[in-house]
Amino acid sequence: MAIKVYGSDFSIGTYRVLLCLAEKDIDFELVTVHLASGEHKKPHILARNPFGQIPAFEDGDIKLFESRAIAQYISRTYADKGTCLINMDPKKAALEAVWIEVEAHHFNRATTALMWELCMKQFLFGQNGDEDIVNAEEKKLVSVLDVYEARLSESKYLGGDSFSLADLSHAPMIKHLMGTEMKRVFDAQPHVSAWVADILSRPACVKVFGVPVY
Amino acid sequence: MTIKVYGSMFSTATLRVLLCLAEKDIDFELITVDLASQEHKKPHMLARNPFGQLPAFEDGDLKLFESRAIARYISRTYAGKGTDLINPDPKKAALEDVWLEVEAHKFDPVVGKLVWELCMKRFLFGQNGDEDIVNEEEKKLGSVLDVYEARLSESKYLGGDSFSLADLSHAPMTNFLMGTEMKRVFNARPHVSAWVADMLARPACVKVFGVSAY
């Protein structure tokens, strides 16, 4: 198979790439990297991602890492296949690019610690999250989602009228947090809540994550 | 003037955008936003960047924020003008995207703290940097630059044979740090050191930053 994804469950970056491939109905082979045994820090994976992280990606002789770069590659290279993830109109694509950056910096920073406290600690060590950290991080998430609520009051999707990579990029983290007490933060904002329901019920999300339980 | 940049010369993100415009020899108007009086948090600026940060950007009726999104917009929209900042070959552009993400996620968090401690605290408040933070971040910078050294041993620029947005994106923070004790971390690695010297000697860098002092 030309396309290989080296990744794992509970890896937001891996899911970001799998969602792109699912939106575009592209075949690929998933090569599981065992985080628990530190496989991502072993030489054969460091050769693919020098920072020892997942996912890593291969399409024939192209080898990439960094899930957002991989997502851009898939969206552009397979522009004609399945869902169009980058708007053909460069001005609209520019707005999508803004919200791709907002996800990478503001949303990511407001959610990574919550993912660790409320999902990863349970999965990896059977531990509960630290309440003080969760409370502090929740406030940051609320502030960020206030901005999203304002944006989504103006347009159906972050980049404009159409679903794009800007929205997709958020789905893995949102999916995980909607299964935790942080659901209330997303549900508290009506436009954000509608947007979340819409993106998580997309066939590609259902295929990668399963039917939303909430 | 169609293109307006709302920013500050103390903002590395603003400088990222100014470098793009300089590389492409594009005219623009710089509207200085006064950080000291918190102008970036005032309503007229929040209307342009809802996170209250710099820069904001305008090209005719298109309004953008997030410097890396703005840089991509400039690179694509003005592709025929001045330096080519995104490789027209999609496979090569994909490698450039990888290193753009590395800049955003691995390089920027570390150098951002160092620039704050060693440059901004002095410019803004006349204060010295916190020694413990500087020591800790210097170690992290060393680890990150080890990966860059390996990459730059294989290719002249981060994305491949040609200078691209992937390299340019590093220039503002690097320029600040080369004027501090952190210069030693870059200079300890021969390929990184050569890449820095090459980049900061570019006419666009000289135009935006002035002649390199080191």
Q: Do A73 and B72 touch (CB under 8 A)?
A: no
pLDDT tens-digit series, residues A16-25:
999 999 999 9
- The structure tokens 């209330």 sit at A184
The pLDDT, as a whole number, for residue B181 is 96
CA distance A169 to chain B (A): 14
Which residues of chain A lie closer than 8 angstroms to B97, CB-CB? 64, 66, 68-69, 72-73
pLDDT category of residue B56 using cuts at 50, 70 and 90: very high
Q: Does the pLDDT value for residue A214 go beyond 80?
A: no
Contact A191, A153 (CB under 8 A): yes
Mean pLDDT of B187-212: 93
The pLDDT, as a whole number, for residue A212 is 56
Q: Do A101 and B151 touch (CB under 8 A)?
A: no
Instruction: Report the residue of chain B nearest A79, measured CA to CA.
Output: B90
Which residues of chain A lie closer than 8 angstroms to B98, CB-CB? 64-66, 69
Q: Which of B64, B91, B150 sits opposite A62 (nearest CB)?
A: B91
pLDDT tens-digit series, residues A76-91:
999 999 999 999 999 9
Phi/psi for A6 (5° steps) reads -100, 110
Q: Does the pLDDT value for residue A213 go beyond 80?
A: no
Q: Do B73 and A151 touch (CB under 8 A)?
A: no
Mutation target to probe the A interface, by most A beta carbons within 10 A, among B78, B92, B105, B155 is B105
The helix-helix angle for B108-115 and B131-154 (nearest 10°) equals 140
**What count of CB pairs under 8 Å joins A to B?**
71
Q: Does the pLDDT value for residue B42 go beyond 60?
A: yes
Mean pLDDT of A63-68: 98
User: Quick check: bond before A50 cis, omega within 30?
Assistant: no
The pLDDT, as a whole number, for residue B36 is 85
pLDDT tens-digit series, residues A135-162:
999 999 999 999 999 999 999 999 999 9
Contact A56, A63 (CB under 8 A): yes
Mutation target to probe the B interface, by most B beta carbons within 10 A, among A66, A70, A145, A192 is A66
List B162's β-bridge partners, or say none: none
> What amino acid occupies position B62?
L
The pLDDT, as a whole number, for residue B210 is 82
Q: Do B50 and A147 touch (CB under 8 A)?
A: yes
Q: Does the pLDDT value for residue A211 go beyond 80?
A: no
The pLDDT, as a whole number, for residue B211 is 62
Q: Which of A111-125, B52-66, B175-189 is predicted with the least confidence, judged by mean pLDDT?
A: A111-125
Going from the C-alpha of B27 to that of each of B59, B60, B63, B112, the distances in angstroms are: 11, 13, 17, 28
Q: Does the pLDDT value for residue B143 go beyond 90?
A: yes
pLDDT > 70: percent of chain B? 98
Q: Do B73 and A147 touch (CB under 8 A)?
A: no
Mean pLDDT of B48-61: 97
Three-class HEC string of chain A: CCEEEEECCCCHHHHHHHHHHHHCCCCCEEEECCHHHCHHHCHHHHCCCCCCCCCEEEECCEEEECHHHHHHHHHHHCCCCCCCCCCCCHHHHHHHHHHHHHHHHHHHHHHHHHHHHHHHHHHHHCCCCCHHHHHHHHHHHHHHHHHHHHHHHHCCCCCCCCCCHHHHCCHHHHHHHCCCCCHHHHHCCHHHHHHHHHHHCCHHHHHHHCCCCC
- CA dist., res. B75 & res. B26, Å (int): 11
Q: Does the pLDDT value for residue B214 go beyond 60?
A: no
**First-residue to last-residue Cα distance in chain A:** 36
Q: Does the pLDDT value for residue A107 go beyond 50?
A: yes
List B6's β-bridge partners, or say none: B31, B56
Contacts made by residues B41-46, CB under 8 angstroms, sequence distance 24+: B45/B6
The pLDDT, as a whole number, for residue B213 is 46
- CA dist., res. B86 & res. B77, Å (int): 11
According to DSSP, residue B34 is labeled: -
Q: Do B94 and A65 touch (CB under 8 A)?
A: no
Q: Does the pLDDT value for residue B177 go beyond 80?
A: yes
Contact A30, A54 (CB under 8 A): no
Mutation target to probe the A interface, by most A beta carbons within 10 A, among B57, B63, B65, B66 is B66
CB atoms within 10 A of CB B30: 18
What is the average pLDDT value for chain B, to the nearest integer? 95
Who wins on pLDDT, B167 or A214? B167
- CA dist., res. A2 & res. A63, Å (int): 11
CB atoms within 10 A of CB A60: 9
pLDDT tens-digit series, residues A158-206:
999 999 999 999 999 999 999 999 999 999 999 999 999 999 999 999 9
Q: Does the pLDDT value for residue B184 go beyond 60?
A: yes
pLDDT tens-digit series, residues B75-119:
999 999 999 999 999 999 999 999 999 999 999 999 999 999 999
